Amino acid sequence: MSGQNEYILFDFPDERLREDALMHTLLGKIAEYDRFRYLKKAIVCDDSPGDIYVPNTPQTLAGAWANAKRAVQRYGGYWMEFEDTDGVKMSFGFNPQEPRRLFLQTSSSVLNKRDQSENVRAFVSVMQKIYDTLHPDYGCGLFSYENHDSVPTGAPPFAIWDYNLFSPALVEQFGRDRLLALPAWRKVEFKDGGLLLEMSPQPVVDALAHRDQYKAVAAALGFEKVIMGG
């Protein structure tokens, strides 16, 4: 996969990512209806049936997660790679030395094609599944190590990003009505009371066209910084 890595950062107040049962639930939610399929990788899935993909059954997905943990030294964390039916690849994972942050990753090459907005929608759909399943305190992105300073785990919101995920506690802090009145391109209210502010339909290619909205949202929330475009 060419292009730089782009991430959504999900932060948690505890170490729930260590709970295998919860991660098995996430694996199943992403694989639901066979829209996304986990790729077999050396070590991680070498004992799973199938030639290319891990079968979407609870048993084989749980086994793949166990192998992902076993392969931590090779992959620098517990990582699962998957793709949709159009071949759009993503992965999620975390470093067990920092179990309060989960990463959702894809390549900028997946998101930078103006005529393939469905790639962005697929990425956002996984983002929403992660939120709905794991209930993070906060999520933000697009983040890239090439373009941005590191964001400390557990840091409070300090900027408006392309994607901003607020837990119920943050929604209460900023005010639901206030957040819903902001000029974001798209808003999603989650069942737990959390909220997603999506600032641009295709941030890698058209964030600049929405720059005024980014700035207006940042100013309304008291943030001095805007981080856009991956």
- Structure confidence at residue 1 as a pLDDT band (50, 70, 90): very low
- At residue 103, the pLDDT reads 98
Q: H helices of 38-167, where?
A: 58-70, 72-75, 108-111, 117-134
User: Sign of torsion, CA 155 156 160 162?
Assistant: positive
Residue 30 has pLDDT above 80, yes or no: yes
What is Dmax (Cα atoms) for the chain?
Answer: 53
| pLDDT (tens digit per residue) in 78-131 | 999 999 988 899 999 999 999 999 999 999 999 998 888 999 999 999 999 999
- Structure confidence at residue 175 as a pLDDT band (50, 70, 90): very high
As a whole number of angstroms, the distance between CA 5 and CA 3 comes to: 7
* pLDDT, the chain, mean: 93
| pLDDT (tens digit per residue) in 189-198 | 999 999 999 9
Instruction: Identify the residue with better confidence: 217 or 116.
Output: 217
Looking at residues 148-163, what average pLDDT do you find?
Answer: 96
| pLDDT (tens digit per residue) in 13-28 | 999 999 999 999 999 9
Share of the chain above pLDDT 70, in %: 95
- Block residue for tokens 């929608």: 121
**Token digits of residue 220:** 């309304």
Can you give the pTM of this predicted structure? 0.95
Domain boundaries, the chain: 5-226
Q: H helices of the chain, where?
A: 20-31, 58-70, 72-75, 108-111, 117-134, 168-174, 176-180, 203-206, 211-221
Looking at residues 57-76, what average pLDDT do you find?
Answer: 92
- At residue 116, the pLDDT reads 82
Here the contacts of 178-186 (C-beta below 8 Å, separation 24 or greater) are 178/220, 182/216, 182/217, 182/220, 182/221, 183/213, 183/216, 183/217, 184/213, 184/217, 185/210, 185/213
- At residue 94, the pLDDT reads 98
| pLDDT (tens digit per residue) in 144-155 | 999 999 999 999
- At residue 46, the pLDDT reads 59
DSSP-assigned letters across all residues of 40-68: P-TTTSTTSSSSSB--SSHHHHHHHHHHH
